[in-house]
Amino acid sequence: MCGIFGIVTKKEQNLGSILVEAAKRLTYRGYDSVGVATLSGSTIDLRKDAGRVEDVAAKYKLTEMNGTRGITQLRWATFGEPSQVNSQPHLDSDGDMVGAHNGNVVNNVELRKQFMAEGLLVRSQNDGESCVHAVERYINQGQDFIQAIRNAYNDLQGDYAFVIGKINDDKLFAIKKGSGLVVGIGEDFTCLSSDLPSILPLTRKIIRLEDGEIVTLKADGVELHSVIDGSIIIREAETITEEMNAVQKGGFAHFMLKEIHEQPDVARELLHVLQKSEAVKVILDKIKNARQVYLIGCGTSYHACQAGSVYFAQLANRSAVPVVATQFIEQFLPTLNNQDVGIFVSQSGETKDVLNAINASKESGMTCFGLSNVIGSTLTRAVAEWLPLCCGYEISVPATKTFTNQIIAFLYLAYQLGGKDMNSLDDLPGLMETTIRTTMLQVEALTPDINKWDDLYCLGYGATYSIALEGALKLKEITYAHCEGMLSTEFKHGPLSAVIKGLPILFVAGPNNVPLIVSGLNEVTCRGGRAIAIGEEDEQLKTNASDVITLPKSNPWFSSLLSVIPLQLLSYQMAVARGFDPDFPRNLSKTLTVD
């Protein structure tokens, strides 16, 4: 989830300050390195390094850079470790073009081999450089920029937005494919960015690009072309009236709601990255030959481990034990040896309980792998291999998109391990979009009645047990109501006594488990409780539940993931109705670095 910004001005001026401020307004997207390039006449001034914007700007005096055109990029590492050489922007072979991208080019490794075989100078492992060379190879054939970008577009697989410029020119060129790209039009300048926040302090007049569109930035205006046939596209600019805070939240009232809606996009990005990940192969080989596999995490990450355990068993016939990190040391550490494998999960990569478990496990000889959303975190440095979650910043304290991507990572590994149809996973982001769209109104309708209660239960079974635990945690985190997550079959062994007239009991019903859930629904309704089922369209659920929140048709493993979305939305709606800020619940921190 990188960020790019580019600007073209009528006359040479200090662009460094503008570019650094634009970069700062993109930092919420998540990044580990920053770079700035300015172009003036026959000169390109490129300065970049790993680190925070403020530190790199001070070290390389970025605010002193001049030019008529400029590009800045914040990189969140996927291809190539965080380093100066892998930081963006990147030069072409001869140093007369410079460009940067946001997104992932999933055939990066193959392209780098092609470019080197063609005699191009490849300096880094980063896919942003591949975007530059993809254009360069056609420019070298005598094509103009528009035609070169059109051909490069067909070579670059994945989702990205890309900007490039050349010496002795007065323009920048950019293209959108999957990743966001917005153009700003001002007096004697034009600019573009991954996001509105970096544009709005300069101009409120914008044009939103669509996928498959090329934009040419000139000081006195912009021109849009279709990547399909090169034809000119006419689109009127619009004027933005929202305040900056609203724009940073994408027009949503809170970051949590924005991040719920981002889940399909980050799911797509993760799947693209996993498809080309060498670490996936290493991890799977170790799992296949392991004596025992453990999935270790805390809180939300532990719930993802619970789901992963079910996926491994049902899809790959592989036992994997989910364990809370602190309990792992007490319960399993004395039994470990070098034939065992552990996958340690932490959104931040700094969770102290998880790091303690890693350090203890490594001493036992166990092979340690990781899942984290933060490149360069302590977890990523402590394990043998790790997989990124590709979520960018998750600003809201309650985890949403990081949880679903943790589950998708486990689902992907289980599909690979079990030899399942990997292409079917491509349907998942679209199903997530449908779920958000179709369940939002259903949840809003039920929220007023559920919100009257301060004691709730959320029940699941099999793959949905982990979802019940996560749904209950979300309700506790941001509504401050007590909600207990548990196995639906355990409810009758004691907690059923708590049911009184009207008490809402949430049932997360997997499509294969409806007959089992029906008994639980009736145990609640016959005692006057309100049984609310979350599941696919099913006559038995309709007949036996008080209310049904309906999910789109999929399969038992997709359905379990989709079912967390209405629970996220319910937690959000209840928190707002109670007057609480869902982004910053009391007493909680995003990163827990204490025991």
Judge if 15 and 116 occupy the same domain: yes
Q: Is residue 431 part of a domain?
A: yes
**Spacing of C-alpha 551 from chain mean position:** 22
Domain end call among 217, 248, 279: 248
Cβ atoms of residues 409 and 274 within 8 Å:
yes
The whole-number pLDDT of residue 593 equals 47
Q: Is residue 294 part of a domain?
A: yes
Judge if 175 and 303 occupy the same domain: no
- Structural domain tally of the chain? 3
Judge if 175 and 210 occupy the same domain: yes
Judge if 232 and 93 occupy the same domain: yes
- Does 315 have pLDDT greater than 90? yes
Mean pLDDT of 166-174: 97
The pLDDT tens digits for 431-446 are 999 999 999 999 999 9
- Does 263 have pLDDT greater than 80? yes
Domain end call among 212, 227, 248: 248
Q: Is residue 593 part of a domain?
A: no
Q: Is residue 76 part of a domain?
A: yes
Q: Is residue 595 part of a domain?
A: no
The whole-number pLDDT of residue 131 equals 97
Q: Which residue, among 485, 420, 508, 463, has the nearest Cα to 308 in the 3D structure?
A: 463
- Does 546 have pLDDT greater than 80? yes
- Does 360 have pLDDT greater than 90? yes
Q: Which residue, among 492, 501, 509, 524, has the nearest Cα to 449 in the 3D structure?
A: 501
Q: Is residue 350 part of a domain?
A: yes
Judge if 263 and 358 occupy the same domain: yes
> Where residue 29 falls among pLDDT bands split at 50, 70, 90?
low
Interatomic CA distance for residues 125 and 103, integer angstroms: 15
Cβ atoms of residues 352 and 595 within 8 Å:
yes
Q: Which residue, among 462, 461, 538, 528, has the nearest Cα to 498 in the 3D structure?
A: 528
Judge if 53 and 179 occupy the same domain: yes
Average pLDDT, the chain: 93
Judge if 243 and 261 occupy the same domain: no
Judge if 194 and 322 occupy the same domain: no
Give the neighbor-by-neighbor strand order of the sheet with 221-226: 90-91, 97-105, 158-166, 172-177, 213-218, 221-226, 232-233
Judge if 365 and 433 occupy the same domain: no
Q: Is residue 588 part of a domain?
A: no
Interatomic CA distance for residues 502 and 499, integer angstroms: 8
- Does 594 have pLDDT greater than 50? no
- Does 62 have pLDDT greater than 50? yes
Judge if 483 and 406 occupy the same domain: no
Interatomic CA distance for residues 184 and 195, integer angstroms: 11
Question: Which residues neighbour 203 within 8 Å (Cβ) at sequence distance 6 or greater?
Answer: 184, 185, 186, 191
Question: Of 157-171, 239-253, 460-474, 529-543, which gets the smallest average pLDDT?
Answer: 239-253
Q: Where are the beta strands (DSSP E) in 219-292?
A: 221-226, 232-233, 238-239
Q: Which residues are catalytic?
A: 2, 590
Judge if 235 and 281 occupy the same domain: no
The pLDDT tens digits for 89-130 are 999 999 999 999 988 898 999 999 999 999 999 999 999 999
CATH number (domain holding residue 205): 3.60.20.10
Domain end call among 195, 229, 248: 248
Mean pLDDT of 525-550: 96
Phi, psi for 227 (deg, rounded to 5): -70, -20
The pLDDT tens digits for 249-258 are 878 999 999 9
- Residue 518: domain span: 427-583
- Does 30 have pLDDT greater than 80? no
Q: Which residue, among 140, 125, 310, 562, has the nearest Cα to 148 in the 3D structure?
A: 140
Judge if 293 and 433 occupy the same domain: no
> Where residue 135 falls among pLDDT bands split at 50, 70, 90?
very high
Interatomic CA distance for residues 58 and 167, integer angstroms: 26
The pLDDT tens digits for 393-440 are 788 889 999 999 999 999 999 999 999 999 999 999 999 999 999 999
Q: Is residue 589 part of a domain?
A: no
The whole-number pLDDT of residue 462 equals 93
CATH number (domain holding residue 314): 3.40.50.10490
Mean pLDDT of 32-55: 95
